[in-house]
Amino acid sequence: MAQITFKGSPVDTVGSLPAKGSEAPFFCLVKTDLSEAGPADFAGKRLVLNIFPSLDTPVCATSVRRFNQEAASLDNTVVLCISADLPFAQSRFCETEGLKNVVSLSVFRTPQFGLDYGVTIASGPLKGLLSRAIVIIDADGIVRYTEQVAEIVEEPDYGAAMKVLA
């Protein structure tokens, strides 16, 4: 279990992020067209898992916009924006914002993702949503970088993530 904060108040997650150097846990999430996607759909690509509570918050929306912008220059890399938002809301957000360099995925059918990646919030007002975290997985499925953002209302360290991808 990791302890983070939400507006300064302590909250817990159900576990810890996968260890660097470990094989990334399998996942099967829902795309905006309601089909399912997992690691095989991105075989041979580096994956940036941009995990967050909801697109309906300013910081989450900012992280999706920022990774959309950064992803445009990355070779062999796919940014997966993962939240508990329904696929319809994810699709509407990306269309409205003109975001084409990220893939939105929802955990609404598969809460196991949050357990396997240790990011489900276990206490506090956001209980049941995902914490803000970044996980970078290389083309062979190995975890190369993780960041559990200590304060949910703050942005991740984009520079550190991008350095791993350089």
Question: Which pLDDT score, from 0 to 100, does residue 59 have?
Answer: 63
**pLDDT above 90 covers what percent of the chain?**
61
Helix (H) or strand (E) holding 146: strand 143-148
Question: Which pLDDT score, from 0 to 100, does residue 121 have?
Answer: 96
* Residue 59's CATH number: 3.40.30.10
pTM greater than the 0.85 cutoff: yes
- Alpha-carbon distance values, 153 to 38, 59, 78, 81, 160 (Å): 28, 6, 24, 17, 18
Q: CA-CA distance, 39 to 24, in Å (whole number)?
A: 9
60 is catalytic: yes
Q: Which domain holds residue 137?
A: 3-165
Domain count for the chain, please give it: 1
pLDDT in tens, 13-57: 999 999 999 999 999 999 999 999 999 999 999 999 999 998 777
pLDDT in tens, 105-164: 999 999 999 999 999 999 999 999 999 999 999 999 999 999 999 998 988 998 898 899
The answer on pLDDT for 63 being more than 90 is no
Q: What are phi and psi of 88, to 5 degrees?
A: -65, -45
Tokens of 85: 């938002």
Alpha-carbon torsion 31, 34, 38, 40, what sign? negative
